[in-house]
Structure 1
Amino acid sequence: MCRLALILLFGLFVAMIGSLKSTIAGETKKTGLVQYGKMHEVIGKQKHQGRVKFSDLTAKPHFYGVAALESLAGEATVFDGKVILTKVNSDGALSSETLSQKTQAALLVGAYVESWTEHSVTTTVKSDDLDSLIEQTAKKIGLNTNEPFMFVIQGDFQNVRAHVINGACPIRARMQKEDLPERKRPYEADLIKITGKLVGVFAKDSVGDITHPATSTHLHLLYKDDRSGEMRTGHVEQVTLQPGVTLMLPEEVAK
């Protein structure tokens, strides 16, 4: 009887460990969202150690995600399993990094999406109205907007304010009125007009967890650099959608 009790206790312990690992990984089975790290701990508390390898996530097809690299050493965006990494050089210029089997993210939110629904945007949409556009369109097709989900926007954009993190978050620095040292200064850009893709996650009431203050979206830009011909990515703080862009919402969460 004692031996049976020990076996049962050991089984319970193994189950608890498995549940704990699932919680740490941050996978929400209901929505398919995968999350590693939270903004308030990664950025606010500087707990920016590597939490997940990109190669592990992309071993399975159709992954989309936004991320900050280990040590906040740059930005990453994953589009259908392809990882784009962008860092800031010592001279302040951008460089596209090569993905290795060891490259990790300190903060990452994403999902496996096999298929999308496409929705044409026929009017100009400013940053203040972007959250509402995504939420209202998602509701029309039956998505639960109380749960986070990925989205993509393709086309022409104006008045894009973006940055590439370089050891410290410029948004937090501005809010805290901190002057970042030169070695941690991000790359910041105001782009009057650009064509590319926006990859993001819509997450209501997730400030400090998935999103920055005053927004329900965590948004990255993917675009081709005219000079180098390389793909670049960066975190979007502000953007205006031009008429004719296409909003893509998940049709089915990959199993």
Structure 2
Amino acid sequence: MKWSAFVSGLGGLAVVLGSFSSTLAAKPEGERFVQYGKMHEVIGQQQHQGRVKFAELVKQPHFYGVGALESLGGEATILDGKVTLTQVKSDGKLQTLKLTPRTQAALLVGGYVTDWSKHPLSQAVSSDELNSLFEQDARQSGLNIKGPFVFVIEGDFQNVEFHVINGACPIRARMRKEALPVGKRPYEADLPKVSGKLVGVFAKDAAGNITHPGTSVHMHLLFQDTKSGEMHTGHVEKLTVAPGATLLLPEK
């Protein structure tokens, strides 16, 4: 299905946004979920101006979230209030961007979570199986799966396909069969094995709003680069969660 077909059906999605420039999403009862920007606006309509300053967002403790920098200039992941920003350098390699009081996100989804329930994963889980895993474990934990919620997975991961955005979305470009110009080509990699953390949001029936088409999950990988020692992050497209990992869900 073309990207435009997804966009056309998104007007009635349930996350209600206030002012366009600095938006706090309607919060499901009992949860502190926030959203700035919608996927189809930021990527599909190229409305990728800054909407929220990271420094303002993490003034309150225990924030977890994922997003893209203004102008789609890199990926952002926040783990318990710690912001990791990764950009693509002119030579195509990755670099960690230093957070300043003015650094903003064009798109960001996440929530404030103080308590987590732990769910050990005894078997390998592919990215195609994550939707079912989240629904099953969330129901057992008493979470409302009709509304978005944050998750974290700690452990080892295999065959991780991820990208760092660099002015244009590679997923959208592939769907539209468009070639990105040299200056907007992302960093793309396939890691056979890596240890780290996945931070993300599960949002059922929110394609084009919170997630890309075809998935209910928007997640980023946090990992330490073996050469530079820097923490990097990127948008995960596919992966397998290795046995022994731990899924963290918000405690109701």
Q: Same fold (TM over 0.5)?
A: yes
Q: How far apart, in 2, do the equivalents of 1:230 and 1:191 lie?
A: 16
Question: Following superposition of structure 1 onto structure 2, how do residues 162-177 of structure 1 map, counting pairs within 5 Å?
Answer: 162-177=162-177
Find the counterpart in structure 1 of residue 185 from structure 2: 185
Aligned-partner SS, 1:99: coil
Task: Report the RMSD for the aligned CA atoms in angstroms.
Answer: 1.4
Q: How far apart, in 1, do the equivalents of 2:236 and 2:60 lie?
A: 27
User: CA offset at residue 228 of structure 1?
Assistant: 0.6
CA contact (8 A) 2:222 2:231 kept: yes
Aligned-partner SS, 2:108: strand
2:243 maps to amino acid: P
Structure number with larger C-alpha Rg:
1
User: CA offset at residue 127 of structure 1?
Assistant: 1.4
Q: How far apart, in 2, do the equivalents of 1:225 and 1:158 lie?
A: 16
User: CA offset at residue 28 of structure 1?
Assistant: 1.7
Aligned-partner SS, 1:114: coil
1:218 maps to amino acid: H
Q: How far apart, in 1, do the equivalents of 2:203 and 2:117 lie?
A: 19
Q: How far apart, in 2, do the equivalents of 1:20 and 1:193 lie?
A: 41
2:114 maps to amino acid: E
**1:145 to 2:153 alignment:** no
Question: Following superposition of structure 1 onto structure 2, how do residues 83-232 of structure 1 map, counting pairs within 5 Å?
Answer: 83-232=83-232
1:232 maps to amino acid: H
**1:48 to 2:48 alignment:** yes
User: CA offset at residue 93 of structure 1?
Assistant: 0.2
Find the counterpart in structure 2 of residue 245 from structure 1: 245
Residue by residue, what CA displacement relative to the aligned partner does 1:183-232 show, whole Å, maximum 9, x if unpaired? 00000000100000000000000000000011100000000000010100
With over 3 angstroms needed to count, the CA separation of the structure-2 counterparts of 1:174 and 1:244, relative to structure 1, is same
Find the counterpart in structure 2 of residue 233 from structure 1: 233
1:145 maps to amino acid: I
Residue by residue, what CA displacement relative to the aligned partner does 1:44-92 show, whole Å, maximum 9, x if unpaired? 0000000000000100100000010000000000000000000000000
Q: How far apart, in 2, do the equivalents of 1:174 and 1:234 lie?
A: 18
Greater fraction helix = 1
Residue by residue, what CA displacement relative to the aligned partner does 1:80-115 show, whole Å, maximum 9, x if unpaired? 000000000000000001000000000000100001
Aligned-partner SS, 1:135: helix
Q: How far apart, in 2, do the equivalents of 1:56 and 1:161 lie?
A: 31
Residue by residue, what CA displacement relative to the aligned partner does 1:30-56 show, whole Å, maximum 9, x if unpaired? 231100000000000000000000000
2:64 maps to amino acid: Y
User: CA offset at residue 29 of structure 1?
Assistant: 4.9
Aligned-partner SS, 1:43: helix
Q: How far apart, in 2, do the equivalents of 1:62 and 1:237 lie?
A: 26
Q: How far apart, in 1, do the equivalents of 2:18 and 2:194 lie?
A: 43
Between 1:234-243 and 1:19-28, the stretch displaced more is: 19-28
Unmatched runs of 5 consecutive residues or more in structure 1: 1-18
Aligned-partner SS, 1:78: strand
